[in-house]
Every structure is written in structure tokens, then in C-alpha cells.
A and B are shown apart, each in its own frame.
Chain A
Amino acid sequence: MRKALLATAALLIITASPAMPQQKTIKIGFISTFSGPVAAIGNDMRNSFELGLDHNGRKLGGLPVEVIYEDDLFKPEVGVQKTQKLIESDKVDFVVGYIWSNVLLASLKPLVDSQTFTIVTNAGASQLAGELCSPFVFSTSWNNDQTPQAVGLYMNQKGVKSAFLIGPNYAAGKDMLEGVAATFKGQIVGRELTRWPDQLDFSAELSKARAAKPEAIFAFYPGGAGIQFITQYVQSGLKGQIPLYTAFTIDELSLPRLKDLALGIPGAQEWVNDLPNEANKKFVADYKAKYKSSPSFYGAQTYDAVGLIDSALKAVNNDMSKKEDLRKALEKADFKSVRGSFKFGPNHIPIQNFYLQDVVKQGDDYVLKTVATIVENDQDKHFQNCHMK
């Protein structure tokens, strides 16, 4: 009944007022995972986005912001439903978020079909960088194989001659293992994909790795699975026998729980907490003050989305109907990123540096310390397949 009254009222208002090109607020639809063991990632992203809005005076392009947070429950079929809801029911101006590559891939069609501008702040499915690229979708993170490629390069630098690869069996997991294989010059003695997301028992795969006797193991397990993997890796006695190299497995979220277990296990990232630019210093300091914990790269990528959207909206004077101009403004990426300088490749994936981080103990705290820059201005390898050249 209420809905009917509201609907009638809305109908009257719409017909009564002339069509206005001006927006009153900017509506953002935010999709992430807020349940289950990976909720920590979603919360970090949400916190960072909120912090970014705070720093921007709760405005984007000078207009007040309304954010609608939706939980994809870690499932592609839920993600696509929530995406459709945000587009059709909530009629958002931008969609932001997506942790998981499979959720993103499932949700792409409704986003592209409805021409909704989307800022992906984590998922790095290679298809997005390549054949499925769209003028409406932008990424502030990376392409899935960039980070593991950097790890592969680092393993070469360390003189590792053979490796065993383990990852979860979904879009990103496959991409990660492919990435390492692309740059690693040694021999790959084994490649295991585990059932995702419900398999958190890696005893079988670790036994296999031990039996294959590689010089190193590479693993990719995001979120809570990373904690499980590292714990089991240590438990099985492999630590100290076969060194482990990781991507996205140990981060500021899992470190407080892993503590000693993570010491000495290196990983690569495109953003590190000790990057020396002003925007980053402010982000990290204010995040720690407000939320009493350290932000992770998930958060940093999401924080950048605020700056990106803001800069683009200002460039088009908040006129959302000027889609071409908005797209060009987004491509310009004229904002102060926590990564320092920021630029997009033609496929809307950032071209950026990758750093190596190691886990060290500072007093009572466990921190990620940047040890080296592995590669500079790295561009993903899929932009050739993208129609936007």
C-alpha cells in the first residue's frame, strides 16, 4: 500500500517538474563481500571508501553522496542479482567494488548493457583487460596476472630453479598461476587448483608439494583462506624446508592473526603502506586513527576510486548525461592517488609499479616492509585483445 502511494506521488512529481539535467545527489552502488571469513576485506574496502568520502567532505564532484552497500555473499549468482538491483531498482550513477573475479565476470553483462560507469576496485579478471573490456568499466586495481608475474620475476632474481604452484580454482586463481608461469624461468613441477571457496583444507595439496620436492612453493589464497593456508603450511613442517612465495595471501588484514607464522614470507603488491607520497601518508595515518588498524591494498584501491570519480565529475560539471565526456575524464585519471602517479592503459587497467614486501617484526607489531621495487610501469599483457586501443 505504501509503495502504491509513493509511486503515485513520484509519478505526480515527475510529471509536474520539467526534465532537469542536473543531479541533486550522486548515488553509488557498492558491491563487496560482507559475510563469511572474507568479510574483513569487504569491511576494509567500505572503511576506506568512507574515509575517502570524509576527506572529500562527503561530496563527489561537489554534490552530496549516497552509498548503497550490497553483499555479494561471495557468490557470482548473488553478485549479478545485486548488480541488477543496484542498476534497476536503486538507479545508481556509479557501481564501485567487486572483490572477486568470478563475481565481476558474472555481473559484467548488466553493467555494460545498461552503460553504467563501473569502478572495479579489486577483481582483476584477464577477460576484463582483454576481450571483455568496456568503455564504461575502469579498474583501480590491476590485472590478475601482473602481480604474480612480478613474483615470478623476483623468484628468478632469487635463483629459484623449480616451483610448485597452488591456487584456488576460480577465475583469479587460474590467472595467478598463469601469471607466475609466464615470467618464472625455472621448472614448474606441479600445479594444483583447489576447490573454491569451500575447500580450506590444504593437507592433500601440501603433501603433494612436499612429494614433488620443488625449490619453492608459490601460493595465492586471498582473505581467510590465506590464513588457513599459511597456518597449514607451517603446521605441516614445510616452513624451513621449502620456502614460500605469495601474492595476495598475506596482507595487513591477515597479518595480525598470522603473527610469527608469516615472518619471512615475501609477497608482491602494487601498493604498500610505506609509499612516500603525501596522499598515502594521509590515508594510512587517518585510517589508523579512525579504525585502529592498518589499511590493506584492498582499501587503498577503493580509496583511490573516490578521487577518480570526484575528478571526473568535476571535469563534466556533474552532468551524468555527457557519457562520452565523463568517460574521457575518467580516462584522464587526474587525481592524487595513494600510489603516487596514476595512469590508465588503453583498456582502463592501471600501468603501475610492483613492489616486494616482506614480513618483519617491529617491537610487538608485525608489519609489511617494502624491500624492493620489482618492476616499474608494468602494463598487463591483455590490452592487445581489447577493442579500445
Chain B
Amino acid sequence: MSRRFNTLNLLIAGVIAALALIPVYSALSGYPFLLSLFTRILILAMAAVTLNLIMGFGGMVSFGHAAYLGIGGYAVGILAKEGFNSGFLQWPVAVAASALFALAIGALSLRTRGVYFIMITLAFTQMIYYVAIGLDRYGGDDGMTIYRRSQFGGLINLSNRTVFYYLCLVLLLGTVYLVYRIVNSRFGLVIQGSRSNDRRMRAIGFPPYRYKLVCFVIGGALCGLAGALLANHTDFISPALMHWTRSGDLLVMSVLGGMGSVFGPVIGAVALLMLEETLSGLTEYWQIIIGPLFLLVVLFARGGIAGMLVGEHRG
């Protein structure tokens, strides 16, 4: 099939190449801030990709995905504050904690569906948000500075901006690949089948609840890793990371980029955050177009950017 060389795949290749060259461009042009900006884009793109796994493919619209960014971040932050700076401890804890929370939240939430599911994920996120605010020792609402980034012995130095950037890029691409494999596996087919028709899946012999739960946990766990990266990037964590409006931001990236495509959210994240940077230089009020633009995408271009390029329409 000539699918290999269609517009979307070309764009994907282009974006990956461009992302790989950012540190070079940043160093040459003397704009170190670009590196910082794109590191952030990479991390949020990773979070959006994990959201899309459960939402775009699994049909589970979670307004609480940002919670895992926070859980991952706080795992790093709390351990750092207590003197455990080793990344070999922090990052697995971040992933494991997120997986556990996802398991607990998913187990309860997946007993509901539709808008109730959306609302209950929202409720759980708010709960976690308030727990974080209540953690007086770890800054509470004021947040907490992380004085040392995760240490990996002599293996890799995260304080080196360029090294950290490439690590994030590798992890992002790894996540994309993982999601791609999941979606195209038998497991993934069951998930997508459940999204369209639960009853049919059950009739064939696949209990949707169990499959969806596993999918939900994987999504949460990977997002926790993104959270650990984010904490290292900003050297700071606060409960604001987990507010439901931040989940909304991730949703916007996914939908804009294209929910039907694994790489779509990356495109969405790059597009959205680049727009934010360039437009805010031009006018203070740029956000006024994002809202209606988003509404238009929802109404008429559900496939997002990726969808438009492939000529796909999602129902």
C-alpha cells in the first residue's frame, strides 16, 4: 500500500526530524529558551499520547489525566525532599504510584459510562488535587522546589539541558511506539471494539471491563513517567499541575492533533504550544481564537490535524 508515504506519515517524519534538531538550532541561534520550551512540549506531548490511548482508542474520556502528571511529579518531589535523590528509585515509584492510583480510580470509575465516567474521573482528580494542597510538609498550595534533579549515578546527567532533552525525546518516541503496538495488537482491537460496541465484545467473549481497566492503568502509569520528567524539567511541583483544567489542556492537544492517530497528540501538542509562544508575542488576546477553533474542530473535524491529512472522518 502507498499508505507508507501519505501526507500524514511525511508530516510525522518531518516533525520527528525537526524535534531531533532543536538542540542544535537552539545552540547555534543563541536562544537557549527554545530548548526549554521544546522540552516542555515533548513532556506534555507524551502525556497527551497516553491520554489518547485511553480516550481516542479506548473511548474513556478522562478529565482526570493530569492527576498522573502530578502523582509522578510528587513522587519525585517527595522522595527528593526526604533525601532520596536516586532516579532509579524515584522513577519506578512514580510509575508504580500512578499505576496504583489508576487501578483504584479505574476500578471504580469504569463501572460507569458516558458523562458519568467523565464526571467521576473529574471528582477523583479533584480529590487528589486537594490531598496535594493539604500536604503542608511538601509545600501545600505553594508548591515545592526540587533542588536536585533525579540522579542516575554516572549514567546520565539530567542537569545537562541537552542530554535531558534527548532523554525526553527518546521516552516520547518510545511511548508512541508502545501505544502503537498496543493499539495494533489483539488487546488493542478489543479495546477499540469496546469503544464502539460494548455488548458485541461481551458477546464474542471479551469482558470489556477488564480490558479497559488494563488500558486505563497503562495510560496512567506512562503519564506518571511524564510527570517525573516534568518535575525534573521545572525543578518545581505544585498541586496546580493536577487541576482539572490542565486535563482539559491535554484533551485539547489530543483532539486538535487527531484522536484517531497515535502520533496525533504530538502534532497537537507541538501546534498548540508553538501557537501559544508565537501568538503571545503578537497579541495578548490570542487565546480568544483557541476556544472557537477548538469548538470548530470538535464539530467538523473530529479527526483533528492528522485526520484531515489522511482524509479520515471519525464518527
Residues of A that sit less than 8 Å from B by CB: 3-4, 7-8, 10-11, 14, 75-77, 80-81, 84-85, 88-89, 102, 105-106, 108-110, 169-171, 195-196
Interface residues of chain B: helix, strand, loop or mixed (majority): helix
Kindly list chain A residues whose C-beta atoms are within 8 Å of the C-beta of B240. Answer: 75-77
A46 to chain B, nearest CB (A): 15
Q: Please name 6 further chain A to chain B contacts, defined as beta carbons within 8 Å, in addition to the given A4-B29, A10-B29, sorted by A numbering.
A: A3-B31, A77-B238, A77-B241, A81-B234, A84-B36, A85-B33
Q: Which residue of A lies closest to B238 (CB)?
A: A77
Which chain B residues in 222-260 approach chain A with CB under 8 Å? 234-236, 238, 240-241
The listed residue (B30, B36, B133, B145) touching A7 by CB distance below 8 A is B30
The listed residue (B147, B235, B238) touching A76 by CB distance below 8 A is B238
Interface size class of chain B, counting residues whose CB lies under 8 Å from the partner chain: 20 to 34
B210 to chain A, nearest CB (A): 37
Kindly list chain A residues whose C-beta atoms are within 8 Å of the C-beta of B31. Answer: 3, 7, 89
Kindly list chain A residues whose C-beta atoms are within 8 Å of the C-beta of B36. Answer: 84, 88
Q: Which residue of B lies closest to A102 (CB)?
A: B142
Residues of B that sit less than 8 Å from A by CB: 25, 28-33, 36, 133, 140-143, 145, 147, 234-236, 238, 240-241
Chain B CB within 10 A, most for which of A106, A169, A171: A106
Q: Are B234 and A105 in contact (CB under 8 A)?
A: no
Kindly list chain B residues whose C-beta atoms are within 8 Å of the C-beta of A88. Answer: 32-33, 36
Kindly list chain B residues whose C-beta atoms are within 8 Å of the C-beta of A10. Answer: 29-30
Q: Are A170 and B29 in contact (CB under 8 A)?
A: no
Q: How far is the CA of A3 from the CA of B141 in the complex (A)?
A: 38
A98 to chain B, nearest CB (A): 13
Q: How far is the CA of A85 from the CA of B28 in the complex (A)?
A: 19
B38 to chain A, nearest CB (A): 13
The listed residue (A85, A105, A196) touching B145 by CB distance below 8 A is A105
Q: How far is the CA of A109 from the CA of B25 in the complex (A)?
A: 26
Q: How far is the CA of A79 from the CA of B37 in the complex (A)?
A: 15
Q: Which residue of A lies closest to B278 (CB)?
A: A3
Kindly list chain B residues whose C-beta atoms are within 8 Å of the C-beta of A80. Answer: 234-236
Q: Which residue of B lies closest to A198 (CB)?
A: B141
Q: Which residue of A lies closest to B237 (CB)?
A: A77
Chain A CB within 10 A, most for which of B28, B31, B143: B143
A76-B143, A170-B141 known; A106 and B33 CB under 8 Å? Answer: no
Q: Are B32 and A106 in contact (CB under 8 A)?
A: no
Q: Are A169 and B141 in contact (CB under 8 A)?
A: yes
Q: Are A102 and B143 in contact (CB under 8 A)?
A: yes
Kindly list chain B residues whose C-beta atoms are within 8 Å of the C-beta of A8. Answer: 29
Q: Are B142 and A170 in contact (CB under 8 A)?
A: yes
Which 10 interchain pairs have the tightest Cβ spacing? A7-B29, A89-B33, A102-B142, A88-B33, A76-B143, A77-B240, A77-B238, A88-B32, A109-B145, A80-B236
| 20 pairs of residues in contact across A and B, judged by CB atoms under 8 Å | A7-B29, A7-B30, A14-B30, A76-B143, A76-B236, A77-B143, A80-B234, A80-B235, A81-B234, A85-B33, A88-B32, A102-B141, A105-B142, A106-B143, A106-B236, A109-B236, A110-B235, A170-B140, A170-B142, A196-B141
Kindly list chain B residues whose C-beta atoms are within 8 Å of the C-beta of A77. Answer: 143, 234, 236, 238, 240-241
Q: How far is the CA of A8 from the CA of B30 in the complex (A)?
A: 10
Q: How far is the CA of A80 from the CA of B139 in the complex (A)?
A: 15
Kindly list chain A residues whose C-beta atoms are within 8 Å of the C-beta of B142. Answer: 76, 102, 105-106, 170-171
B189 to chain A, nearest CB (A): 40
Q: How far is the CA of A75 from the CA of B241 in the complex (A)?
A: 11
A197 to chain B, nearest CB (A): 9
Q: Which residue of B lies closest to A6 (CB)?
A: B29
Kindly list chain A residues whose C-beta atoms are within 8 Å of the C-beta of B238. Answer: 76-77, 106
Q: Are B29 and A11 in contact (CB under 8 A)?
A: yes
The listed residue (B30, B133, B235) touching A11 by CB distance below 8 A is B30
Q: Are B28 and A7 in contact (CB under 8 A)?
A: yes
Q: How far is the CA of A35 from the CA of B21 in the complex (A)?
A: 37
Kindly list chain A residues whose C-beta atoms are within 8 Å of the C-beta of B140. Answer: 169-170
Kindly list chain A residues whose C-beta atoms are within 8 Å of the C-beta of B28. Answer: 7, 11
Q: Which residue of A lies closest to B240 (CB)?
A: A77
A105 to chain B, nearest CB (A): 7
Kindly list chain B residues whose C-beta atoms are within 8 Å of the C-beta of A110. Answer: 235
Kindly list chain B residues whose C-beta atoms are within 8 Å of the C-beta of A14. Answer: 30
Kindly list chain B residues whose C-beta atoms are within 8 Å of the C-beta of A170. Answer: 140-142
B118 to chain A, nearest CB (A): 23
Q: How far is the CA of A81 from the CA of B238 in the complex (A)?
A: 13
A11-B28, A77-B240, A84-B36 known; A108 and B145 CB under 8 Å? Answer: yes
Q: How far is the CA of A10 from the CA of B235 in the complex (A)?
A: 31
A194 to chain B, nearest CB (A): 11
B114 to chain A, nearest CB (A): 30
Q: Which residue of B lies closest to A125 (CB)?
A: B142
Kindly list chain B residues whose C-beta atoms are within 8 Å of the C-beta of A4. Answer: 29
